Structure 1
Amino acid sequence: MLEKIITKLIIADVDIFYKDQDIVVRFYDGSREPKEEEIVNLVVVDPGFGYLYLKFKGDAALLSGYLNEIIFSSDEMVDAAIQYIEDLAPQSKNLYMPYHISRVRETSCVEYNGEY
């Protein structure tokens, strides 16, 4: 499901994936995504700004993921992303939900773009 998150702190496109109650959210810039007709020969694949994964375990939930520290540069921005995924899952309210969100910076990549 394609949506957009717009808060005072974050503007990003999001893809939302559901499996039972569990949710994965991908944050990215949709304008950088290749269109179907552009996927020939040289393709630049943008990894996006990060992912959050909300996994329900009985009467608790676990939240994990990573977010690009250049985009999510403050704790308040990370909190806004956490609030966004919690709002997608109202059943997470009032549950014990430990979390670990890593802010990461890209140092290198492995890539195949059709040219080599």
Structure 2
Amino acid sequence: MRFEYQNFSCDVDVFRRDLDIVVRFYDGSREPAEEEIVNLVIADPGYGYLMLKFKGDAALLSGFLDESVFASDEMVEAAIDFIEHLSPYSQSVYMPYHVARFRQTSYVEYNGEY
């Protein structure tokens, strides 16, 4: 599945549990193939995640998106629309949301080499 907004597109993974949905936005070309996971591997965290969690007659949408990719409010709104359209239940519920844009400053990594 792919997310598309204007001239940008990326891969998405959709994870479901009951009615709840988590979407991971990422570049599939940067994902190591199974046979590549032997010694040195880079596990790319992607561009962010959104979660749609249903609570009774309402739903909460939250997550975080990389601001170097999701640079405009309009692009974040497009990602919100994307996850909302994955569930027929989201069309008729009250759904407040909070999506944080993050800027990567550092990371912790183990890649098999050290």
TM-score by length of 2: 0.97
Aligned to 1:72, what secondary structure does the other structure show? coil
Give the Cα–Cα distance (whole angstroms) in 2 for the partners of residues 114 and 45 of structure 1: 11
For residue 42 of structure 1, what is the aligned residue in structure 2? Answer: 40
Shift of 1:5: 1.5
For residue 16 of structure 1, what is the aligned residue in structure 2? Answer: 14
Uncovered stretches (5+) of structure 1, i.e. residues with no partner: none
Give the conservation status (yes or no) of the 8 Å contact 1:63–1:99: yes
Shift of 1:9: 5.4
Aligned to 2:85, what secondary structure does the other structure show? helix
For residue 54 of structure 1, what is the aligned residue in structure 2? Answer: 52
Name the aligned partner's letter for residue 40 of structure 2.
L
**Higher mean C-alpha deviation, range 71-80 or range 7-16:** 7-16
Change (3 A) 1:63 1:10: farther
* Offset from partner CA, 1:46-102 (integer Å, 9 cap, x none): 000000000000000000000000000000000000000000012111311011100
Give the Cα–Cα distance (whole angstroms) in 2 for the partners of residues 52 and 97 of structure 1: 13
Output aligned runs, 1:59-98, within 5 Å. Answer: 59-98=57-96
> C-alpha root-mean-square deviation of aligned residues, in Å?
0.9
TM-score by length of 1: 0.95
Give the conservation status (yes or no) of the 8 Å contact 1:9–1:80: no
Shift of 1:10: 3.8
Give the Cα–Cα distance (whole angstroms) in 1 for the partners of residues 74 and 7 of structure 2: 8
Give the conservation status (yes or no) of the 8 Å contact 1:9–1:77: no
**What is the total number of aligned residue pairs between the two structures?**
114
Give the conservation status (yes or no) of the 8 Å contact 2:5–2:75: no
4+ runs of 1 displaced by more than 6 Å?
A: none
Give the Cα–Cα distance (whole angstroms) in 1 for the partners of residues 7 and 67 of structure 2: 14
Among the aligned pairs, what percent are the same residue? 67
